[in-house]
Amino acid sequence: MKRRSFHLSALAAFAAVLSPLPALAQRGGKTSVTLGMTLEPTGMDPTVAAASSIGEVTLYNVYETLTKIQPDGSVAPLLAERWEVAPDLRTHTFHLKPGVQFHNGEPLTAATVQFAFERAAHAKSTNKDKAVFTQMQRIQAVDAHTLVIVNREPDPNFLFCLGQATAVIVEPKSADTNASKPVGTGPYLLDNWARGSAVTLKAWPDHRDAARIGIRRAVFRVISDPAAQAAALLSGDVDAFPRLGERSVPQFKANPRFQVLVAGSRAKTILAINNAKAPLNDVRVRRAICAAIDRKAVIAAAAGGFGVPIGSFYVPGAPGYVDTTGINPFDLAKAQALMKQAGVTTPLTLTLTLPPPPYARQGAEVIISQLAKIGIQVKAQAVEWAQWLQGTLKDRHYDLSIISHVEPFDLGNFANPDYYFGYKSEAFNKAYQASRVATDATARHKALAEAQTILAQDAAAGFLYQPQWTTVANKQLKGLWTAMPIFANDLSAMSWA
Protein backbone atom coordinates (compact mmCIF):
# COMPACT_ATOMS: atom_id res chain seq x y z
CA MET A 1 0.00 0.00 0.00
CA LYS A 2 1.44 3.34 -1.02
CA ARG A 3 0.67 6.57 0.74
CA ARG A 4 2.34 9.90 0.24
CA SER A 5 2.42 13.09 2.22
CA PHE A 6 5.09 15.75 2.41
CA HIS A 7 5.64 18.58 4.84
CA LEU A 8 4.83 21.70 2.79
CA SER A 9 5.05 24.25 5.61
CA ALA A 10 7.38 26.54 3.73
CA LEU A 11 5.45 26.61 0.49
CA ALA A 12 5.14 30.38 0.36
CA ALA A 13 3.32 30.30 -2.94
CA PHE A 14 0.10 29.55 -1.11
CA ALA A 15 0.41 32.53 1.23
CA ALA A 16 -0.47 36.12 0.41
CA VAL A 17 -0.07 39.56 1.91
CA LEU A 18 -1.95 39.69 5.20
CA SER A 19 -4.40 42.31 6.38
CA PRO A 20 -4.46 43.06 10.13
CA LEU A 21 -7.05 41.11 12.10
CA PRO A 22 -8.12 41.72 15.70
CA ALA A 23 -7.10 39.39 18.49
CA LEU A 24 -10.59 38.02 19.06
CA ALA A 25 -9.48 35.62 21.74
CA GLN A 26 -8.86 38.40 24.25
CA ARG A 27 -12.48 39.57 24.24
CA GLY A 28 -15.98 38.22 24.71
CA GLY A 29 -15.27 36.33 27.94
CA LYS A 30 -12.40 34.43 26.33
CA THR A 31 -14.52 32.23 24.11
CA SER A 32 -12.54 32.96 20.94
CA VAL A 33 -9.07 32.03 19.78
CA THR A 34 -6.76 33.09 16.96
CA LEU A 35 -4.35 30.47 15.65
CA GLY A 36 -1.51 31.05 13.22
CA MET A 37 -0.73 28.76 10.31
CA THR A 38 1.99 28.88 7.66
CA LEU A 39 -0.01 27.71 4.66
CA GLU A 40 -3.46 28.68 3.51
CA PRO A 41 -5.71 25.68 2.80
CA THR A 42 -6.23 25.05 -0.90
CA GLY A 43 -9.86 24.18 -0.15
CA MET A 44 -12.08 22.91 2.64
CA ASP A 45 -12.35 19.26 1.61
CA PRO A 46 -9.46 17.09 2.87
CA THR A 47 -10.75 14.11 0.88
CA VAL A 48 -9.87 15.61 -2.50
CA ALA A 49 -6.50 17.34 -1.98
CA ALA A 50 -3.26 16.37 -0.24
CA ALA A 51 -2.40 19.67 1.51
CA SER A 52 -2.14 19.05 5.26
CA SER A 53 -3.32 22.63 5.89
CA ILE A 54 -6.90 21.57 5.01
CA GLY A 55 -7.00 19.11 7.87
CA GLU A 56 -5.37 21.62 10.21
CA VAL A 57 -8.51 23.73 9.91
CA THR A 58 -11.28 21.18 9.34
CA LEU A 59 -10.39 17.86 10.99
CA TYR A 60 -12.48 17.25 14.16
CA ASN A 61 -13.77 20.82 13.82
CA VAL A 62 -15.95 20.93 10.70
CA TYR A 63 -15.78 17.25 9.80
CA GLU A 64 -15.63 14.16 11.97
CA THR A 65 -14.41 10.61 11.48
CA LEU A 66 -15.42 7.19 12.77
CA THR A 67 -12.41 7.13 15.09
CA LYS A 68 -10.44 9.96 16.67
CA ILE A 69 -6.66 9.99 16.92
CA GLN A 70 -5.38 11.15 20.29
CA PRO A 71 -2.17 13.16 20.79
CA ASP A 72 -0.37 10.02 22.00
CA GLY A 73 -1.31 8.19 18.79
CA SER A 74 -4.00 6.03 20.37
CA VAL A 75 -7.46 5.74 18.81
CA ALA A 76 -10.73 6.65 20.55
CA PRO A 77 -14.40 6.54 19.46
CA LEU A 78 -15.92 9.50 17.64
CA LEU A 79 -18.78 8.92 15.18
CA ALA A 80 -18.44 5.22 15.93
CA GLU A 81 -19.21 4.72 19.60
CA ARG A 82 -17.70 1.23 19.56
CA TRP A 83 -16.44 -1.49 17.21
CA GLU A 84 -15.37 -5.11 17.00
CA VAL A 85 -12.35 -6.38 15.12
CA ALA A 86 -12.22 -9.99 13.92
CA PRO A 87 -9.15 -12.05 14.86
CA ASP A 88 -7.93 -11.97 11.25
CA LEU A 89 -7.79 -8.13 11.38
CA ARG A 90 -9.78 -7.96 8.15
CA THR A 91 -13.36 -7.56 9.36
CA HIS A 92 -14.43 -4.51 11.38
CA THR A 93 -17.94 -3.92 12.67
CA PHE A 94 -18.73 -0.31 13.62
CA HIS A 95 -21.66 0.84 15.74
CA LEU A 96 -22.48 4.49 15.02
CA LYS A 97 -23.59 7.04 17.59
CA PRO A 98 -27.35 7.53 17.27
CA GLY A 99 -28.87 10.94 16.67
CA VAL A 100 -25.89 12.49 14.85
CA GLN A 101 -26.78 15.11 12.24
CA PHE A 102 -24.89 16.97 9.52
CA HIS A 103 -24.86 20.75 9.35
CA ASN A 104 -27.53 20.60 6.64
CA GLY A 105 -29.89 18.61 8.85
CA GLU A 106 -29.35 15.21 7.22
CA PRO A 107 -28.87 12.25 9.61
CA LEU A 108 -25.67 10.23 9.87
CA THR A 109 -26.36 6.62 8.94
CA ALA A 110 -24.32 3.58 8.02
CA ALA A 111 -25.34 4.20 4.41
CA THR A 112 -23.77 7.68 4.63
CA VAL A 113 -20.48 6.22 5.79
CA GLN A 114 -20.65 3.65 3.01
CA PHE A 115 -21.14 6.47 0.50
CA ALA A 116 -18.18 8.43 1.92
CA PHE A 117 -15.79 5.47 1.70
CA GLU A 118 -16.96 4.32 -1.72
CA ARG A 119 -16.52 7.90 -2.95
CA ALA A 120 -12.96 7.89 -1.62
CA ALA A 121 -12.25 4.63 -3.46
CA HIS A 122 -13.83 5.67 -6.74
CA ALA A 123 -11.69 5.62 -9.89
CA LYS A 124 -11.93 9.41 -10.14
CA SER A 125 -11.09 9.96 -6.47
CA THR A 126 -8.13 12.25 -5.73
CA ASN A 127 -7.98 11.25 -2.06
CA LYS A 128 -4.30 11.01 -1.15
CA ASP A 129 -5.03 7.95 0.99
CA LYS A 130 -7.15 6.30 -1.69
CA ALA A 131 -5.39 2.97 -1.07
CA VAL A 132 -7.01 2.77 2.38
CA PHE A 133 -10.42 2.70 0.73
CA THR A 134 -9.66 0.64 -2.37
CA GLN A 135 -8.51 -2.19 -0.12
CA MET A 136 -12.02 -2.36 1.35
CA GLN A 137 -13.37 -5.53 -0.28
CA ARG A 138 -16.86 -5.09 1.09
CA ILE A 139 -18.71 -2.27 2.84
CA GLN A 140 -22.13 -3.26 4.18
CA ALA A 141 -24.67 -1.11 5.97
CA VAL A 142 -26.33 -3.79 8.11
CA ASP A 143 -28.83 -1.32 9.53
CA ALA A 144 -29.01 2.43 10.10
CA HIS A 145 -26.28 2.39 12.75
CA THR A 146 -24.21 -0.73 12.01
CA LEU A 147 -21.52 -0.92 9.35
CA VAL A 148 -19.32 -3.88 8.44
CA ILE A 149 -16.09 -3.37 6.51
CA VAL A 150 -14.10 -6.33 5.19
CA ASN A 151 -10.60 -5.49 3.97
CA ARG A 152 -8.77 -7.47 1.32
CA GLU A 153 -5.76 -7.79 3.62
CA PRO A 154 -5.16 -7.40 7.34
CA ASP A 155 -4.33 -3.83 8.33
CA PRO A 156 -3.24 -3.33 11.94
CA ASN A 157 -3.30 0.46 11.38
CA PHE A 158 -6.82 0.57 9.97
CA LEU A 159 -8.50 2.22 12.94
CA PHE A 160 -5.81 4.92 12.98
CA CYS A 161 -6.27 5.52 9.25
CA LEU A 162 -10.00 6.03 9.75
CA GLY A 163 -9.25 8.90 12.12
CA GLN A 164 -7.25 10.90 9.59
CA ALA A 165 -8.54 13.89 7.61
CA THR A 166 -8.81 11.83 4.43
CA ALA A 167 -11.41 9.59 6.12
CA VAL A 168 -13.87 12.29 7.21
CA ILE A 169 -17.52 11.39 6.70
CA VAL A 170 -19.19 13.58 4.09
CA GLU A 171 -22.89 13.98 3.36
CA PRO A 172 -23.98 12.88 -0.13
CA LYS A 173 -26.00 16.00 -1.01
CA SER A 174 -23.17 18.39 -0.13
CA ALA A 175 -20.08 16.30 -0.97
CA ASP A 176 -19.45 17.93 -4.35
CA THR A 177 -19.34 21.46 -2.90
CA ASN A 178 -17.43 20.78 0.31
CA ALA A 179 -14.29 22.47 -1.03
CA SER A 180 -15.97 25.87 -0.74
CA LYS A 181 -19.05 25.15 1.40
CA PRO A 182 -18.05 22.43 3.85
CA VAL A 183 -20.79 20.39 5.50
CA GLY A 184 -19.86 17.94 8.22
CA THR A 185 -21.01 16.68 11.61
CA GLY A 186 -18.38 18.60 13.57
CA PRO A 187 -18.90 21.23 16.28
CA TYR A 188 -17.94 24.15 14.00
CA LEU A 189 -19.21 25.80 10.83
CA LEU A 190 -17.27 27.80 8.28
CA ASP A 191 -18.12 31.43 9.05
CA ASN A 192 -15.81 33.26 6.65
CA TRP A 193 -12.85 32.64 4.39
CA ALA A 194 -10.88 35.77 3.52
CA ARG A 195 -8.73 34.28 0.78
CA GLY A 196 -5.04 34.83 1.36
CA SER A 197 -5.64 36.07 4.89
CA ALA A 198 -7.73 34.02 7.31
CA VAL A 199 -10.34 31.31 7.83
CA THR A 200 -12.95 31.82 10.54
CA LEU A 201 -15.01 29.07 12.16
CA LYS A 202 -17.94 29.52 14.52
CA ALA A 203 -19.47 27.05 16.95
CA TRP A 204 -22.49 25.12 15.64
CA PRO A 205 -25.24 25.45 18.28
CA ASP A 206 -26.95 22.22 17.18
CA HIS A 207 -23.95 19.94 17.68
CA ARG A 208 -24.62 17.09 20.07
CA ASP A 209 -21.83 18.32 22.41
CA ALA A 210 -22.39 22.06 21.91
CA ALA A 211 -22.80 22.67 25.64
CA ARG A 212 -19.25 21.61 26.42
CA ILE A 213 -17.55 23.59 23.64
CA GLY A 214 -15.56 26.42 25.23
CA ILE A 215 -14.24 28.07 22.08
CA ARG A 216 -17.13 29.64 20.20
CA ARG A 217 -15.14 31.36 17.46
CA ALA A 218 -11.77 30.52 15.94
CA VAL A 219 -9.69 32.47 13.43
CA PHE A 220 -6.88 30.76 11.51
CA ARG A 221 -4.53 33.50 10.32
CA VAL A 222 -2.24 32.67 7.42
CA ILE A 223 1.26 34.02 8.12
CA SER A 224 4.08 32.62 6.02
CA ASP A 225 6.99 34.83 7.06
CA PRO A 226 8.82 33.60 10.20
CA ALA A 227 9.49 37.13 11.47
CA ALA A 228 5.83 38.06 11.03
CA GLN A 229 4.78 34.88 12.84
CA ALA A 230 6.85 35.79 15.90
CA ALA A 231 5.66 39.41 15.80
CA ALA A 232 2.00 38.30 15.72
CA LEU A 233 2.52 36.19 18.83
CA LEU A 234 4.39 38.92 20.70
CA SER A 235 1.73 41.53 19.89
CA GLY A 236 -1.13 39.25 20.91
CA ASP A 237 -2.66 39.23 17.43
CA VAL A 238 -2.23 35.45 17.48
CA ASP A 239 -2.90 33.37 20.59
CA ALA A 240 -1.12 30.22 19.45
CA PHE A 241 1.05 29.12 16.56
CA PRO A 242 1.16 25.34 16.18
CA ARG A 243 4.21 24.06 14.30
CA LEU A 244 6.01 27.39 14.55
CA GLY A 245 9.36 27.55 12.77
CA GLU A 246 12.08 26.24 15.07
CA ARG A 247 14.31 29.31 14.69
CA SER A 248 11.58 31.53 16.13
CA VAL A 249 11.16 29.50 19.32
CA PRO A 250 14.12 30.58 21.54
CA GLN A 251 12.81 34.11 22.09
CA PHE A 252 9.65 32.73 23.72
CA LYS A 253 11.19 30.20 26.12
CA ALA A 254 11.97 32.71 28.87
CA ASN A 255 8.89 34.87 28.30
CA PRO A 256 6.36 34.25 31.11
CA ARG A 257 3.45 35.16 28.80
CA PHE A 258 3.98 32.04 26.68
CA GLN A 259 4.08 28.27 26.82
CA VAL A 260 6.37 26.35 24.48
CA LEU A 261 5.30 22.80 23.66
CA VAL A 262 7.73 20.45 21.93
CA ALA A 263 5.88 17.54 20.37
CA GLY A 264 7.07 14.33 18.81
CA SER A 265 5.88 13.43 15.32
CA ARG A 266 5.63 10.55 12.89
CA ALA A 267 7.61 12.52 10.29
CA LYS A 268 10.94 11.35 8.86
CA THR A 269 13.37 13.87 7.38
CA ILE A 270 15.70 12.05 5.03
CA LEU A 271 18.38 12.47 2.43
CA ALA A 272 16.61 10.61 -0.38
CA ILE A 273 19.02 8.59 -2.53
CA ASN A 274 18.22 7.38 -6.03
CA ASN A 275 19.00 3.68 -5.51
CA ALA A 276 18.47 2.97 -9.21
CA LYS A 277 21.20 5.29 -10.47
CA ALA A 278 24.91 4.44 -10.64
CA PRO A 279 27.02 4.69 -8.57
CA LEU A 280 24.29 5.12 -5.96
CA ASN A 281 23.05 1.63 -6.78
CA ASP A 282 26.17 0.35 -4.97
CA VAL A 283 25.32 -0.19 -1.31
CA ARG A 284 28.90 0.72 -0.36
CA VAL A 285 28.49 4.19 -1.85
CA ARG A 286 25.19 4.70 -0.03
CA ARG A 287 26.74 3.51 3.22
CA ALA A 288 29.62 5.91 2.67
CA ILE A 289 27.19 8.78 2.25
CA CYS A 290 25.40 7.83 5.46
CA ALA A 291 28.65 7.45 7.40
CA ALA A 292 29.80 10.89 6.25
CA ILE A 293 26.75 12.65 7.70
CA ASP A 294 26.74 13.94 11.26
CA ARG A 295 23.02 13.81 12.06
CA LYS A 296 23.33 16.08 15.08
CA ALA A 297 24.94 18.79 12.99
CA VAL A 298 22.17 18.48 10.41
CA ILE A 299 19.50 18.72 13.11
CA ALA A 300 21.13 21.87 14.50
CA ALA A 301 21.26 23.50 11.07
CA ALA A 302 17.99 22.29 9.57
CA ALA A 303 15.69 22.13 12.59
CA GLY A 304 17.22 24.47 15.14
CA GLY A 305 18.04 21.45 17.30
CA PHE A 306 14.43 20.22 17.39
CA GLY A 307 14.87 16.69 16.11
CA VAL A 308 15.76 13.15 17.15
CA PRO A 309 18.29 11.14 15.07
CA ILE A 310 16.86 8.13 13.22
CA GLY A 311 18.58 5.27 11.43
CA SER A 312 15.67 4.00 9.38
CA PHE A 313 12.29 5.10 8.03
CA TYR A 314 10.57 4.78 11.39
CA VAL A 315 10.48 7.01 14.46
CA PRO A 316 10.56 6.75 18.25
CA GLY A 317 7.05 6.42 19.63
CA ALA A 318 5.71 4.43 16.69
CA PRO A 319 4.64 0.85 17.49
CA GLY A 320 7.48 -1.57 16.82
CA TYR A 321 10.24 1.07 16.65
CA VAL A 322 13.82 -0.08 17.13
CA ASP A 323 16.89 2.13 17.32
CA THR A 324 18.99 1.57 14.20
CA THR A 325 21.17 4.69 14.44
CA GLY A 326 24.14 2.51 15.36
CA ILE A 327 24.13 0.68 12.00
CA ASN A 328 25.48 3.63 9.98
CA PRO A 329 26.98 5.99 12.56
CA PHE A 330 28.94 9.12 11.71
CA ASP A 331 32.44 7.87 10.83
CA LEU A 332 34.47 9.75 8.23
CA ALA A 333 37.26 7.17 8.12
CA LYS A 334 34.77 4.39 7.44
CA ALA A 335 33.06 6.52 4.78
CA GLN A 336 36.35 7.14 2.98
CA ALA A 337 37.23 3.44 3.12
CA LEU A 338 33.84 2.46 1.67
CA MET A 339 34.30 4.87 -1.23
CA LYS A 340 37.66 3.30 -1.94
CA GLN A 341 36.24 -0.24 -1.72
CA ALA A 342 33.52 0.72 -4.21
CA GLY A 343 36.19 1.85 -6.65
CA VAL A 344 34.65 5.29 -7.04
CA THR A 345 36.87 7.83 -8.76
CA THR A 346 36.81 11.06 -6.83
CA PRO A 347 35.73 13.73 -6.99
CA LEU A 348 32.28 12.25 -7.58
CA THR A 349 29.82 14.92 -8.64
CA LEU A 350 26.19 14.55 -7.53
CA THR A 351 23.20 16.89 -7.66
CA LEU A 352 21.17 17.61 -4.53
CA THR A 353 17.63 18.66 -5.44
CA LEU A 354 16.11 20.94 -2.82
CA PRO A 355 12.40 21.75 -2.42
CA PRO A 356 11.42 25.10 -0.81
CA PRO A 357 11.18 24.30 2.94
CA PRO A 358 13.92 25.91 5.06
CA TYR A 359 14.84 22.56 6.66
CA ALA A 360 15.91 21.31 3.22
CA ARG A 361 17.96 24.29 2.19
CA GLN A 362 19.53 24.90 5.59
CA GLY A 363 20.31 21.22 6.09
CA ALA A 364 21.84 21.08 2.63
CA GLU A 365 24.65 23.41 3.61
CA VAL A 366 25.85 20.98 6.27
CA ILE A 367 25.44 17.86 4.13
CA ILE A 368 27.30 19.40 1.18
CA SER A 369 30.19 20.28 3.46
CA GLN A 370 30.25 16.82 5.04
CA LEU A 371 30.16 14.90 1.76
CA ALA A 372 32.98 17.02 0.37
CA LYS A 373 35.23 15.43 2.99
CA ILE A 374 34.89 12.03 1.31
CA GLY A 375 35.38 13.29 -2.22
CA ILE A 376 31.73 13.88 -3.20
CA GLN A 377 31.15 17.27 -4.77
CA VAL A 378 27.47 18.13 -4.39
CA LYS A 379 25.76 20.71 -6.53
CA ALA A 380 22.64 22.16 -4.92
CA GLN A 381 19.65 22.64 -7.20
CA ALA A 382 16.78 24.62 -5.64
CA VAL A 383 13.36 23.91 -7.16
CA GLU A 384 9.76 24.87 -6.47
CA TRP A 385 7.28 22.29 -5.19
CA ALA A 386 5.71 21.69 -8.58
CA GLN A 387 9.13 20.96 -10.04
CA TRP A 388 10.03 18.65 -7.17
CA LEU A 389 6.77 16.72 -7.42
CA GLN A 390 7.18 16.25 -11.15
CA GLY A 391 10.93 15.89 -11.64
CA THR A 392 11.93 14.12 -8.43
CA LEU A 393 8.87 12.28 -7.15
CA LYS A 394 7.27 11.34 -10.46
CA ASP A 395 10.08 11.27 -13.03
CA ARG A 396 12.88 10.27 -10.59
CA HIS A 397 15.38 12.62 -12.27
CA TYR A 398 17.61 13.22 -9.28
CA ASP A 399 20.64 11.95 -7.39
CA LEU A 400 19.94 13.18 -3.85
CA SER A 401 17.17 15.20 -2.24
CA ILE A 402 16.21 16.37 1.25
CA ILE A 403 12.57 15.86 2.16
CA SER A 404 10.39 15.29 5.21
CA HIS A 405 7.77 12.53 4.86
CA VAL A 406 5.02 13.20 7.41
CA GLU A 407 2.66 10.32 6.67
CA PRO A 408 2.42 8.04 9.76
CA PHE A 409 2.32 4.74 7.83
CA ASP A 410 4.45 5.03 4.72
CA LEU A 411 7.10 2.41 5.43
CA GLY A 412 5.58 0.41 2.59
CA ASN A 413 6.82 2.93 0.02
CA PHE A 414 10.14 1.08 0.16
CA ALA A 415 8.29 -2.03 -1.01
CA ASN A 416 7.23 -0.20 -4.17
CA PRO A 417 9.97 -0.48 -6.82
CA ASP A 418 8.32 2.31 -8.82
CA TYR A 419 8.51 4.81 -5.99
CA TYR A 420 11.09 7.55 -6.38
CA PHE A 421 13.53 5.85 -4.00
CA GLY A 422 14.26 3.22 -6.67
CA TYR A 423 14.83 0.71 -3.88
CA LYS A 424 14.37 -3.05 -4.41
CA SER A 425 14.80 -5.72 -1.75
CA GLU A 426 13.02 -9.04 -1.51
CA ALA A 427 14.16 -9.37 2.09
CA PHE A 428 12.56 -6.04 3.00
CA ASN A 429 9.38 -6.87 1.09
CA LYS A 430 9.06 -10.15 2.96
CA ALA A 431 9.56 -8.52 6.37
CA TYR A 432 7.19 -5.67 5.58
CA GLN A 433 4.48 -8.03 4.34
CA ALA A 434 4.91 -10.13 7.49
CA SER A 435 4.26 -7.00 9.56
CA ARG A 436 1.10 -6.35 7.54
CA VAL A 437 -0.48 -9.76 7.97
CA ALA A 438 0.60 -10.57 11.54
CA THR A 439 -2.41 -10.79 13.83
CA ASP A 440 -0.24 -10.88 16.94
CA ALA A 441 1.37 -7.62 18.09
CA THR A 442 4.60 -9.33 19.15
CA ALA A 443 5.03 -10.95 15.73
CA ARG A 444 4.12 -7.69 14.01
CA HIS A 445 6.69 -5.69 15.95
CA LYS A 446 9.36 -8.33 15.29
CA ALA A 447 8.71 -8.07 11.55
CA LEU A 448 8.76 -4.27 11.72
CA ALA A 449 12.08 -4.39 13.53
CA GLU A 450 13.50 -6.61 10.80
CA ALA A 451 12.21 -4.28 8.08
CA GLN A 452 13.77 -1.24 9.77
CA THR A 453 17.08 -3.04 10.18
CA ILE A 454 17.20 -4.06 6.51
CA LEU A 455 16.61 -0.47 5.38
CA ALA A 456 19.40 0.73 7.64
CA GLN A 457 21.82 -1.97 6.50
CA ASP A 458 21.02 -1.24 2.86
CA ALA A 459 21.39 2.51 3.44
CA ALA A 460 18.24 2.86 1.35
CA ALA A 461 18.32 6.57 2.22
CA GLY A 462 20.22 8.90 4.45
CA PHE A 463 17.90 8.66 7.44
CA LEU A 464 18.43 11.93 9.29
CA TYR A 465 15.94 12.82 12.02
CA GLN A 466 12.45 12.79 13.42
CA PRO A 467 11.23 16.41 13.42
CA GLN A 468 9.82 17.79 16.65
CA TRP A 469 6.98 20.24 16.09
CA THR A 470 6.98 23.28 18.34
CA THR A 471 3.88 25.17 19.44
CA VAL A 472 4.10 28.59 21.06
CA ALA A 473 0.93 29.83 22.74
CA ASN A 474 -0.50 32.21 25.28
CA LYS A 475 0.09 30.62 28.65
CA GLN A 476 -3.62 30.80 29.53
CA LEU A 477 -4.74 28.74 26.54
CA LYS A 478 -5.40 25.12 27.52
CA GLY A 479 -6.04 21.93 25.59
CA LEU A 480 -3.31 22.21 22.97
CA TRP A 481 -1.84 18.93 21.76
CA THR A 482 1.40 17.98 23.47
CA ALA A 483 2.27 15.44 20.78
CA MET A 484 1.38 15.40 17.09
CA PRO A 485 0.98 12.04 15.38
CA ILE A 486 -1.04 13.95 12.75
CA PHE A 487 -1.57 17.62 11.85
CA ALA A 488 -4.75 18.72 13.64
CA ASN A 489 -6.02 21.61 15.77
CA ASP A 490 -8.82 20.19 17.89
CA LEU A 491 -10.74 23.33 18.91
CA SER A 492 -13.24 21.38 21.00
CA ALA A 493 -10.47 20.50 23.44
CA MET A 494 -9.31 24.11 23.88
CA SER A 495 -10.37 26.57 26.57
CA TRP A 496 -9.08 29.57 28.46
CA ALA A 497 -7.91 29.34 32.06
**Residues 335 and 448 grouped into a single domain:** yes
Inside any domain, residue 341: yes
User: How many structural domains does the chain have?
Assistant: 2
Listed residues 117, 152, 167: the one ending a domain: 167
List, for residues 186-229, the tens digit of each pLDDT value: 999 999 999 999 999 999 999 999 999 999 999 999 998 889 99
Inside any domain, residue 474: no
Contacts of 333 (CB under 8 A, 6+ apart): none
**Residues 163 and 281 grouped into a single domain:** no
Domain span holding position 401:
268-467
Inside any domain, residue 261: no
How many C-beta atoms surround the C-beta of residue 98 within 10 A?
12
Span 93-122, mean pLDDT? 98
**Residues 160 and 305 grouped into a single domain:** no
**Residues 155 and 297 grouped into a single domain:** no
List, for residues 53-95, the tens digit of each pLDDT value: 999 999 999 999 999 999 888 999 999 999 999 988 899 999 9
Distance CA(317)–CA(467), nearest Å, equals 12
Q: What is the CATH number of the domain that holds 149?
A: 3.90.76.10
Looking at the predicted structure, is the pLDDT value of residue 13 above 80?
A: no
**Residues 156 and 283 grouped into a single domain:** no
**Residues 160 and 286 grouped into a single domain:** no
If pLDDT is split at 50, 70 and 90, which confidence band does 408 have?
confident
**Residues 454 and 327 grouped into a single domain:** yes
Tell me how far the alpha carbon of residue 350 is from its chain's centroid. 29
Inside any domain, residue 122: yes
Looking at the predicted structure, is the pLDDT value of residue 9 above 70?
A: no
**Residues 304 and 437 grouped into a single domain:** yes
Q: What is the CATH number of the domain that holds 430?
A: 3.10.105.10
Given this model, what pLDDT does residue 226 score?
A: 87
**Residues 286 and 411 grouped into a single domain:** yes
Inside any domain, residue 56: no
More confident residue, 371 or 408: 371
Strands 268-273 vs 240-244: parallel, antiparallel or unpaired: unpaired
Distance CA(174)–CA(186), nearest Å, equals 15
pTM summary value: 0.80
Half-sphere exposure at residue 122, Cβ-oriented, CA atoms within 13 angstroms? 12
Contacts of 203 (CB under 8 A, 6+ apart): 187, 188, 189, 210, 213, 215, 216, 217
Listed residues 167, 191, 208: the one ending a domain: 167
Span 231-255, mean pLDDT? 93
Inside any domain, residue 234: no
More confident residue, 204 or 483: 204
How many C-beta atoms surround the C-beta of residue 107 within 10 A?
15
Distance CA(260)–CA(53), nearest Å, equals 21
More confident residue, 409 or 53: 53
Listed residues 167, 188, 220: the one ending a domain: 167
Tell me how far the alpha carbon of residue 492 is from its chain's centroid. 21
